[in-house]
Structure 1
């Protein structure tokens, strides 16, 4: 029941910051008040499963006799599974009943987590974690569902709330996994998560509307489009609509900056002059989680027609956040403050991106968000790889310079494309 827009997609069609009110063919049918927070919780819980292994790598290496050179495969197989899911599973949200799709994927994710928690050997563990990554993309299907269930006037708020849940899950996953592993062992992390995921599947089965179906136009109806064409159409959408490519490129650069910080910050904190414990290092994820509040704020600004201003302000703040982050060697307070600013900025831009791209083709929301998140994954990988090399070459100053460069590049890209006006062949804004 995706709600289609007629007219302009937020600000994508012109240089001004305020959008002309968009008439809608559907009545103002808002989801139940409890549903959006429940979707946010389920999104955060699902995405967190991708990051549980990171603080457990040493323990998993010892348990399964994996040498240092093989430890990275634990993270790699999970990320590869996630990337595959973005391309192969998320587009199904535009073809199948989303209520059944979401609850089925959550149920299968619970089984994959159970398999990881009970894995008897390395091969079984890696296979289970690949399945965890593949199925964790249900979070993106839930983002598309939240957008489809909400009228355009309130869509930014709903997307902001659900996205805030995702970011909170990412930032808290490492701390939660480390604490639970210390209390009950590493298997408990996956077994407890399996139980929580199964419970969320039951709750969403009851809370989601029973007719949460995609709204494809007649030319792309569910009865006419094959699965292969559906997946291929994701690429076609990004070729056809420049706005999707621009916002995807912004996501790549923004999350490269995000990953530059969070993939490397443990190294300067674990050495002199701080020599912090793993628990203390994980606490900085809690500081960064405060920045997730930006998701709701950005959603409200988007609903007021201020998407371009939100993007520009967020990218400027992202660039400036590297000034206090660069002082990590002298002040932990500076790092904490910089992390809050960085996460606040990243979420403001991320919510704005998703709100704008969904308005381009509401009937293709799942495919668009899945394709967009491929840019996100590429940026996260680029930041992690680049920051590791930078720290090995010249330490934290080089990492700070790299993060600032990603941020400044995103700001310059926005500044040079914010007034671009392109109308797609169907009349949609692109």
Structure 2
């Protein structure tokens, strides 16, 4: 397939199985990162707004986490039902179409008049925000094998920045114009991106990856093949479990942090709560170095170190009520760790089956969504029942369990890891 830059003759060739594929340009990488970040941001805009949304629409404090949980449920459905289409359909049309529909879903959230409509619209936002993963898979397929980690790291960095800055932006906009303006603004931005991507992505080309043997899979067979990939690839299974656990820890923090911060003695505003996303964004800077280390065959070592950091991050987070600086330190530690593991995971799994790149990324991200949903509902429920200290124990438990899985895998699977660490693995 070829991507042609607007205003110039240069093309980026990324033929499947072509080891001489050219590097993905920085401009295209940046565009992919921005698009992925904006799309996924819609899933997290509500987190600093949960208390206000609950009051406005009559949701009880102990159940406001359902807003985030249902969004993650929609995301999980989209990962299974929509992301695999990237291995079947014209990716340009798929990406542009999903951005247009995401704009409509975001507008529905902003205009919701009662809780039921809000929850349905949030499911739709999650369902359509999976365009992020189509973008990631597309970028990975276009990158030269030796630079795949760098490209995936850059685009995934955009994803994490979108997740974290979403909180800062939504908190500020909510204080200035109300929480509904947050989603109406997101809808407008999604429409702008749909138009931009329509103009920049390749026109009139069939960029679907070639299926094995030259045959096209039907949609039904495409979906059925996802569990088959999971059963066949041990590395895929291990990395998917890492995704579930690290994002359960990630969501444990970010789905519940607005609760202690908005209550006395802190009683912070939406803007102040959202600003802590900037601290987490500093952790996202670890994405590109993690990707480069993965390109050099150090993905498993990066994973182990990051999981130790993830578990330890909950120590300073436990002192959030006593010191906001402790929250800043813990947030940076946690987000840096999650980002490093996430980039290493995606760098390793894509080369397993380049012809099934969208299905691999989509299947992997299903576990991300499950972990995020579990962390959201568990943390908000536990906070209502036992307070912030119990939430911190929950988050540390997720990190410690992931570290145990890593240690067991380090003893059981040296041969599989050695093979998977090479960035040029072919199916």
* TM-score bin, normalised by smaller chain: 0.7 to 0.9
Is 1:411 the counterpart of 2:403? The answer is yes
Match of 1:396 in 2: 388
Is 1:154 the counterpart of 2:135? The answer is no
User: Per-residue deviation at 1:258?
Assistant: 1.3
Match of 2:165 in 1: 172
**Contact (CA 8 Å) 2:73, 2:370: kept in 1 or not?**
no
Match of 1:11 in 2: none
User: Per-residue deviation at 1:47?
Assistant: 0.9
Match of 2:131 in 1: 138
Is 1:315 the counterpart of 2:307? The answer is yes
Structure 1: gaps spanning 5 or more residues: 3-22
Which of 356, 362, 370 is 2:362 aligned to? 370
Which of 190, 195, 217 is 2:211 aligned to? 217
Is 1:182 the counterpart of 2:181? The answer is no
Is 1:349 the counterpart of 2:341? The answer is yes
Distance (Å, rounded) in 2 between the aligned partners of 1:184 and 1:382: 31
Match of 1:12 in 2: none
TM-score of the pair, normalised by structure 1: 0.86
Match of 1:250 in 2: 242
Distance (Å, rounded) in 1 between the aligned partners of 2:23 and 2:40: 25
User: Per-residue deviation at 1:152?
Assistant: 1.0
Which of 219, 234, 239 is 1:227 aligned to? 219
**Contact (CA 8 Å) 1:35, 1:207: kept in 2 or not?**
no
Distance (Å, rounded) in 2 between the aligned partners of 1:78 and 1:398: 24
User: Per-residue deviation at 1:46?
Assistant: 0.7
- Please list, as runs of the form range in 1=range in 2, the aligned pairs for 1:31-110 lying within 5 A after superposition: 31-61=24-54, 63-64=56-57, 71=64, 73-110=66-103
Deviates more, 1:209-218 or 1:186-195: 209-218
User: Per-residue deviation at 1:201?
Assistant: 1.4
CA, structure 1 residues 75+252, in 2 after alignment: closer, same or farther (shift >3 Å)? closer
Is 1:202 the counterpart of 2:203? The answer is no
Secondary structure class of the residue paired with 2:415: coil
Secondary structure class of the residue paired with 1:27: coil
Match of 2:10 in 1: none
Deviates more, 1:260-269 or 1:363-372: 260-269
Deviates more, 1:190-199 or 1:348-357: 190-199
User: Per-residue deviation at 1:139?
Assistant: 0.3
User: Per-residue deviation at 1:281?
Assistant: 2.2
CA, structure 1 residues 372+49, in 2 after alignment: closer, same or farther (shift >3 Å)? same
Deviates more, 1:133-142 or 1:278-287: 278-287
More helix by percentage: 2
1:244-267 deviation line (CA, Å, top 9, x unaligned): 100001111111111222222233
Match of 1:305 in 2: 297
User: Per-residue deviation at 1:240?
Assistant: 0.8
Distance (Å, rounded) in 2 between the aligned partners of 1:112 and 1:329: 36
Secondary structure class of the residue paired with 1:34: helix
Which of 282, 288, 298 is 1:296 aligned to? 288
User: Per-residue deviation at 1:330?
Assistant: 3.0
Distance (Å, rounded) in 2 between the aligned partners of 1:347 and 1:265: 19
Distance (Å, rounded) in 1 between the aligned partners of 2:191 and 2:372: 28
User: Per-residue deviation at 1:319?
Assistant: 1.9
User: Per-residue deviation at 1:199?
Assistant: 1.2
Distance (Å, rounded) in 1 between the aligned partners of 2:329 and 2:47: 24
Paired residues in the alignment total 406
Deviates more, 1:175-184 or 1:284-293: 175-184
CA, structure 1 residues 94+172, in 2 after alignment: closer, same or farther (shift >3 Å)? same
Is 1:335 the counterpart of 2:327? The answer is yes
User: Per-residue deviation at 1:230?
Assistant: 0.5
**Contact (CA 8 Å) 1:241, 1:429: kept in 2 or not?**
no
TM-score of the pair, normalised by structure 2: 0.87
Secondary structure class of the residue paired with 2:209: coil
User: Per-residue deviation at 1:87?
Assistant: 0.6
Match of 2:13 in 1: none
